[in-house]
Chain A
Amino acid sequence: MNRGSNLFLRLHVDLALVGSVFIVCTIGLILLYSASNGSSEVVFRQLVRMMIGLTAMLSIAQVSPRALLKLSPFIYLVGLLLLIAVHFFGDTSGGAARWLDLGIVRFQPAEVMKIAVPLMLAAIISNRPLPPSKRSILLCSLILVVPVFLIYQQPDLGTSLLVGFSGIIVLFLGGVSWRAIRYVSLFSLCAAPLAWVSIHSYQRERIRTLFNPENDPLGAGYHIIQSKIAIGSGGLYGKGWLNGTQSHLEFLPERATDFIFAVYCEEFGLVGVLMLMAAYLLVISRGIHVARNAQDTFERLLSASLIITFVTYIIVNVMMVVGLIPVVGVPLPLISYGGTSMVTMMASLGMVMSILTHRKFYSRD
């Protein structure tokens, strides 16, 4: 260890993680400039959010994992209260009440739950011997189901599934028995028809559309068709930055937010896609490294579940854009235009960095 990295370590900064996040964010800003049709205003606003996110990441890294453990019930409760608040005072935007206006900032409480749920669950089950007992599994399920249900009610199917998924990851990593997993899987399989009936008709439409987008090219299939055209017409090297016709001529909907990956594919081609994946892999591999070298169960569970959630976001967004899963409103982490998701992603990476930089025997590996 040289003195430089020592200094950063004392400031709880991991250069590898911050550096790789910086690379992804830079790609994001360059892409956003094109996706917003050259609007420097949009880019500037996103830059401000990145700065806020980076600040959050660096600040949270200062908080020790012990403190996070102790704070977890409060964070969870605050998140839950915000969700209930949004239920009553939420700002309706696009038919769904997801936003909470706190005067200075408008944000989506559901996003907070992406961090609060894995944090809370990791805190609970690491407190007891693992694999978790039936009682703690039941407790965890309750802690998980309430926010998931509230988010689903907004309605935001995508986020609620992802929050639920992040909790399940914690339980899975904690060592829930395979038998319990089998039961749950079987139960979900049986409940699937029920779910099909209970979800909103537009959500059903999206699932149907996935299998046959050409059926309704101007309605529900429009997103997928235009997205596939954008990606496919990009080819190996892409049409070049600012030259995507699908995005610049506005054929591609939601091109700055959920479908920004299609813009990227159109302008930078397969080569660009592989490069972006490599940049993401830098972040992910650092996260996995943290999880593998964490010093206790809480740290391990928390860092692993956060980084897996991060990967899941990427995968769900990309699979949606390339037409492998139905259209669910999930942004591409660190790249899609939008504030709350940016800040929460950075915050969760801040926790990961905290775990990394608060190790007592960091020189062990």
Chain B
Amino acid sequence: MLMEIKNKDSERSIFFFRLNVITVFLVVVLVCIVFRVFYLQILNHEHFITRAQENRLKIQPIVPPRGLIYSSDGVLLAGNKPSFSLLVVPEKVNDMEGSILRLSRLMQLDTGGVKETLGGLKERTSFQSVMLKNQLTEQEVAIFSVNRFRFPGFFIDSSLVRYYPMGSDMAHIVGYVGKMNSRDLLGVDNSNYRGTRFIGKIGIESMQEEILHGKAGYQKVEVNAEGRVLRVVERKDPIPGSNVHLAVSSMMQRQAFQLLEGFSGAVVMLELESGSLLASASNPSFDPNLFVDGISSSAYKKLINSPGKPLFNRVLQGQYPPGSVVKPLIAIGALESAVETTGSHVYCPGFYRLNDKGRRYHCWSEKGHGKVDLNNAIARSCDVYFYQLAKNVGIHGLKESLLSFGLGSQTGVDLLGEKSGLVPSREWKKLALGESWYPGETLISGIGQGFMLATPIQLAQAAAILARKGLVTPPRYLDYYQSIDGLKEEFPRQPARSPRLQLRDAIHWDVVRDAMIDVVHSDFGTARSARLADGIKFAGKTGTAQVSKVNRGSMKQKPMVLRDHALFIGFAPAHKPEIAVAVLVENGGSGSRTAAPMAQKMMDAFFHNKKKVDDLADESR
């Protein structure tokens, strides 16, 4: 019971001692805290102030608007239009599944695809946005904006997306842009492409990427923890890409595609003075707009497997036996080498034989042309005459004259992917096939058959060289580009691949030209149906290139793919030429029936339009 008695003094002293212990302890802790704050605020101040700035300020690249592409007649070929996309920052979404479900009630959303996109993003850096849906309609944008508060972490972004108003009509020339990939990044200045989504993949879009892209700007923005931009602290505007103006005329191009409707083939129209390719049509074509936001694999497969090969640009890459359209070129060569004279005659019985027992080389006319001279042989396209001529000139002579017209080598046009065709020779055959040359091969080379191949653009250029009496101007798609401040700059002209073709006797140009006029304007010419309106003289040459060995029998009975290719080259006005044209229609049947009328309609369209423009100019004057 003694223990129960309170000892106030001892209680007090214990209490005070213990209180002091606690106080000392608390003071120590307090000092620790002060040191800690000192450590953070004074010793590491610089570090944390930087971290705070990094938190607060973000540098955003500003993508320059891509330069536009125009045709020579001022029609927009490649433009930019605003496009809205729905994006999400997954880290900021609490209930992804529910949000997507609710979103799918508001707009059409491929929920399976979205989940796949989100699931496949394991290696993504945090807080980066992911695109869920692009090309939102205005209605979808409005609906989302109203409901935005229900979807934290989701937002709509607007950006400029490329589009091609003329679609397939310009696809092979203008090309298209597509989404940048890591390989694209290797070829460009990365700092300038930060934020850029699209890069030229093919055609002018790809070749003139540097000019079209422009210079990226940036802005330093203050953001909050949600990443929402609160204000722009600093801004450097981007320099938009320059506008590219093409030499191509949208009108002539559209005309060419209209003519090729239903056929596989190419139409090339060259302005002689400038080398401008007014038209360069390859049918069938494709819609470049499909590629911009990434083409679906099924659509791509469809394009790849289409029998018409729409992705293939026949103008530059299609190599065809040129057939009879090489006859004027060979004639020039023969006249020059004095193997042939304008006066000499050949009798055409409908076939030609190297020797009496030899195999028959048929003329296209079964009955034969009878007695023909050079003019006649060109106008009526007599094969026997040219068999004889080829035999006289020899394969080497043929090769020389064809090469001088630019066949067998690239024209140097300012678009990539050009093929060089083929002008055969003994050496070539030995090297490529390991076989020796047969005399019969010389004969069929004389009518543009056999191994010989040419692209439509080569044929157009050959026609141009004929028209300009040997003057070679490389064809071109590009005219000039204009920067945002209005500065015009011509695209550098390609140097001619071959020098001017000088003839020993310039009269030979006129001889061949007159024969080509007779092709159209004489009553025995093969292209009598191709006369131009307003009495404009048209010099041309038809060609019908064999695809299958058997040439006899009605065209109609042959399956389509075995029918002959129809060709035509020409220029007008014949005595003061402005325009050259080359037409190739795959399996078109005959040059005179299929190709020549197309060339004629192209010419008519050109001169009709020119007259209209001139009249307008006169009026305004």
Report A's interface with B, CB cutoff 8 A. Answer: 128-131, 133, 169, 172-175, 218, 226, 228-236, 245-246, 249-251, 265, 269-270, 273-274, 277, 288, 291-292, 297, 300-301, 304, 308, 311, 315, 318-319, 322-324
Which one of A169, A228, A229, A236 lies within 8 Å of B22 (CB-CB)? Answer: A169
Choose one: B6, B11, B23, B37; the contact of A231 (CB below 8 Å): B37
Report how far A292 CA is from B20 CA in the complex, Å.
10
Task: List 15 contacting pairs A-B, 8 Å CB cutoff, sorted by A.
Answer: A172-B18, A173-B15, A173-B19, A175-B11, A228-B40, A232-B48, A235-B49, A246-B55, A249-B222, A250-B224, A300-B15, A304-B19, A308-B22, A319-B33, A324-B32
Interface residues of B in 340-394 (CB under 8 A from A): none
Whether B56 contacts A228 by the Cβ 8 Å rule is no
B29 contacts across to A, CB distance below 8 A: 315, 319
Query: Number of contact residues on B: which range applies?
Result: 35 or more
Contact with A along B108-147 (1 / 0, CB 8 A): 0000000000000000001100000000000000000000
Which residues of A sit under 8 angstroms from B49, Cβ to Cβ?
Answer: 232-233, 235
- The reply to whether A232 and B47 contact each other, CB–CB distance below 8 Å, is yes
Q: B619 contacts the other chain (Cβ, under 8 Å)?
A: no
- B-chain residues with CB within 8 Å of residue A228 when the two chains form the complex: 40, 48
Chain B residue with the shortest CB-CB distance to A308? B22
On whether A172 and B22 interact (CB within 8 A), knowing A129-B7, A322-B37, the answer reads yes
The residue in chain A whose Cβ has the minimal distance to the Cβ of B5 is A129
Known contacts A233-B49, A251-B55; decide if A269 and B41 are in contact (CB<8 Å): yes
* CB-nearest residue of chain B to A250: B225
CB distance A232 to B55 under 8 Å?
Answer: no
Asked whether B47 lies within 8 Å of A292 as measured between CB atoms, the reply is no
| A246 in contact with B19 given A228-B40, A319-B33 (CB within 8 Å) | no
Contact among B4, B26, B55 for A245, CB-based, below 8 A: B55
B91 CB contacts on chain A under 8 angstroms: 218
Q: How far is the CA of A329 from the CA of B603 in the complex (A)?
A: 87
Q: A130-B11, A249-B230, A300-B12 are in contact. List 6 more A-B contacts (CB 8 A).
A: A131-B14, A173-B22, A229-B52, A232-B52, A250-B225, A301-B15
Which residues in B have their C-beta under 8 angstroms from that of A304? 15, 19
Q: How far is the CB of A330 from chain B (nearest CB, A)?
A: 14
Alpha-carbon distance between A270 and B42 when the two chains are bound, in angstroms: 8
Chain B residues within 8 Å of A277, by CB: 30, 34
Q: B: which residues have CB within 8 A of A?
A: 3-8, 10-12, 14-16, 18-19, 22-23, 26, 29-30, 32-34, 36-38, 40-42, 44-45, 47-49, 51-52, 55-56, 91, 126-127, 222-226, 230
CB-CB under 8 A from A249, the residues of chain B are 55-56, 222-225, 230
How many contacts between A and B, using CB within 8 angstroms?
130
Q: What residue of chain A has the Cβ atom nearest to residue B49's Cβ?
A: A233
Q: Output the residue of A131, A218, A251, A319 with the most chain B CB within 10 A.
A: A251
Per the bound structure, the CA–CA distance linking A273 and B41 in Å amounts to 10
What is the CB-to-nearest-CB distance from A40 to chain B, in angstroms, rounded to a whole number?
21
Bound-complex Cα distance A174 to B52 (A)? 48
A231 touches B41 (CB 8 A): yes
> Secondary structure of the A side of the interface?
helix
Residues in B neighbouring A292, C-beta threshold 8 A:
16, 19
A232 B41 Cβ-Cβ under 8 A: yes
- Cα distance, A300 to B15, chains bound together (Å): 8
| Smallest beta-carbon distance A37→chain B, Å | 10
Q: Is the CB of B48 within 8 A of A229?
A: yes
Known A129-B4, A322-B33; judge A245-B22 contact (CB<8 A).
Answer: no
CA of A57 to CA of B32 in the docked complex: distance in angstroms? Answer: 31
A288 contact set on B, CB distance < 8 A: 19, 23
Please tell me if the beta carbons of A233 and B15 are within 8 angstroms of each other in the complex: no
Q: Are B41 and A297 in contact (CB-based, < 8 A)?
A: no
Interface contact A233-B52, CB-CB below 8 Å: yes
How far does the alpha carbon of A324 sit from the alpha carbon of B222 in the complex, in Å?
30
Contacts of B30 in A (CB 8 A): 277, 315
Q: How far is the CA of A273 from the CA of B36 in the complex (A)?
A: 12
Taking the nearest CB of chain A, how far is it from the CB of B611, in angstroms? Answer: 68
A231 to B36, CA, bound (A): 10
How many Å lie between the Cα of A175 and that of B15 in the bound state? 7
In the bound assembly, the distance between CA atoms of A318 and B36 in angstroms comes to 10
Docked-complex contact B26 and A218, CB < 8 angstroms: no
Contact, CB under 8 Å: B38 / A270: yes
Q: Give the distance in Å from the alpha carbon of A231 to the alpha carbon of B47 in the complex.
A: 11
Asked whether A173 and B222 contact (CB < 8 A) given A229-B48, A246-B55, A270-B41, the answer is no
Give the complex CA separation of A234 and B230 in angstroms. Answer: 22
The reply to whether A229 and B19 contact each other, CB–CB distance below 8 Å, is no
10 nearest A-B pairs in the assembled complex, by CB-CB distance:
A232-B48, A233-B52, A175-B14, A250-B225, A249-B224, A232-B40, A233-B48, A251-B225, A233-B49, A129-B6
Cβ of A128 to closest chain B Cβ, rounded Å: 7
| Residue pair B55, A265 in contact (C-beta under 8 Å) | no
Which one, A130, A232, A270, contacts B44 given CB within 8 A?
A232
Rounded to whole Å, the gap between the CB of A173 and the closest CB of chain B is 5
- A163 CA to B41 CA, complexed, in Å: 32
Is there an interface contact between A270 and B37, defined as CB atoms closer than 8 Å?
yes
User: Once the chains bind, are B33 and A235 in contact (CB under 8 Å)?
Assistant: no
* B8: nearest chain-A partner, CB-CB: A297
Residue numbers in A under 8 Å from B16 (CB-CB) = 292
- B37 close to A273 (CB less than 8 A): yes
Residues of A within 8 A of B19 (CB): 173, 288, 291-292, 304
Residue in B4, B36, B41, B91 with the greatest tally of chain A CB atoms within 10 Å:
B41
Chain B residues whose CB sits within 8 angstroms of the CB of A251 once the complex forms? 55-56, 224-225
Alpha-carbon distance between A129 and B10 when the two chains are bound, in angstroms = 10
Residues of A within 8 A of B55 (CB): 226, 229, 245-246, 249, 251
**Which residues of the partner chain B approach A234 to less than 8 Å between Cβ atoms?**
41
> Is there an interface contact between A233 and B224, defined as CB atoms closer than 8 Å?
no
CB distance A231 to B40 under 8 Å? yes
Residue of A131, A269, A274, A322 ringed by the most chain B CB atoms within 10 A? A322
In the complex, what distance in Å separates the CA atom of A175 from the CA atom of B6? 13
CB distance from B31 to the nearest CB of A (A): 11
Query: Is the Cβ of A324 less than 8 Å from the Cβ of B48?
Result: no
Q: Give min CB distance, A229 to chain B, whole Å.
A: 5
A246 to B26, CA, bound (A): 30
- B48/A236 in contact, CB under 8 A: no
Residues of A within 8 Å of B22, CB to CB, are: 169, 172-173, 308
Nearest residue (CB) in B for A127 is: B6
Tell me which residues across on chain A come within 8 A of B6, comparing CB atoms. 128-130, 297
Cβ of A324 to closest chain B Cβ, rounded Å: 6
Could you tell me if B48 and A130 are in contact, using CB atoms closer than 8 angstroms?
no
CA distance A277 to B23 in the complex (A): 15
A130 touching B37 in the complex, CB below 8 Å, given contacts A235-B49, A251-B224: no
Beta-carbon contact of A235 and B42 below 8 Å: yes
Q: Which residues of A contact B8 (CB under 8 A)?
A: 297
A266 to B, closest residue via Cβ: B52
A270 to B37 Cα, complex, angstroms? 7
Contact residues in A for B15 (Cβ distance below 8 Å): 173-175, 297, 300-301, 304
Known A-B contacts A246-B52, A315-B29; the reply to A218 vs B126 at CB < 8 A is: yes
- A315: which B residues are within 8 A, CB to CB? 26, 29-30, 33
A131 CA to B6 CA in the complex, in Å?
Answer: 10
* Residues of chain B contacted by A169 (CB below 8 angstroms): 22
A52 to chain B, nearest CB (A): 29
B contact residues around A308 at 8 Å (CB): 22, 26
List residues of chain A with CB within 8 A of the CB of B44: 232
Shortest Cβ distance from residue A246 to the other chain B in the assembled complex, whole angstroms: 6
* Nearest-Cβ distance from residue B35 to partner chain A, whole angstroms: 10
CB distance from A347 to the nearest CB of B (A): 22
Q: Write out the residue numbers on chain B whose beta carbons fall within 8 Å of the beta carbon of A311.
A: 26
Residue from B15, B42, B230 whose CB has the most chain A CB atoms within 10 Å: B15
Asked whether, in the complex, the Cβ of A232 is within 8 Å of the Cβ of B45, the reply is: yes
B34 & A173 in contact (Cβ 8 Å cutoff)? no
- Set of chain A residues within 8 Å of B38, measured between Cβ atoms: 270
Q: Give chain A residues whose Cβ lies under 8 Å from the Cβ of B225.
A: 249-251
In contact, A245 and B18 (Cβ under 8 angstroms): no
A231-B223 in contact (CB<8A):
no
- Looking at A131, A229, A292, A301, the one whose CB has the most chain B CB atoms below 10 A away is A229
